[in-house]
Amino acid sequence: MRRLILAVSLSAGLATGVFAQSAEIEANIAAQIQAFKADDFATAFTFASPNIQRLFRSPENFGAMVRSGYPMVWRPADVRFLELREVAGSLWQKVMVVDGRGRVHILDYQMVLQENGWKINGVQLLGNSDPAA
């Protein structure tokens, strides 16, 4: 009986940790999208990982990339968080974005934990627009 209680306690603790990670990751992505909606690319840039920041070098370059390559994220009509999962040691947050024309896009955000919290290390637009994908 004690082993069962210990196993349930450990499982609950792990689930709480995953939930906390998920909440932090979702908050990070949502805050970046809010910054995009306000054309505040300087703030949006702060949610990117150091690798992404080095790649684009400035909020202006980053903003130009988002406007041209990810317009559905720059001006979404709706955002819904789907599953958070681990793939090859990395955490990936799947996000469903509905653009201004009502088209559904599924994106995968790779997240990395830094000293100052979770950062976005890349985004992939998945080919399937089915929310169950």
pTM over 0.95: no
Domains within the chain, CATH numbers bracketed: 2-125 (3.10.450.50)
Most distant pair of Cα atoms in the chain: their distance: 60
Residue keyed to tokens 């998945």: 126
pLDDT in tens, 105-117: 999 999 999 998 9
| pLDDT (0 to 100) of residue 21 | 72
| pLDDT, average across residues 110-130 | 87
Cα atoms in the 13 Å half-sphere on the side-chain side of 59: 12
Q: How confident is the model at residue 127 (pLDDT cuts 50, 70, 90)?
A: confident
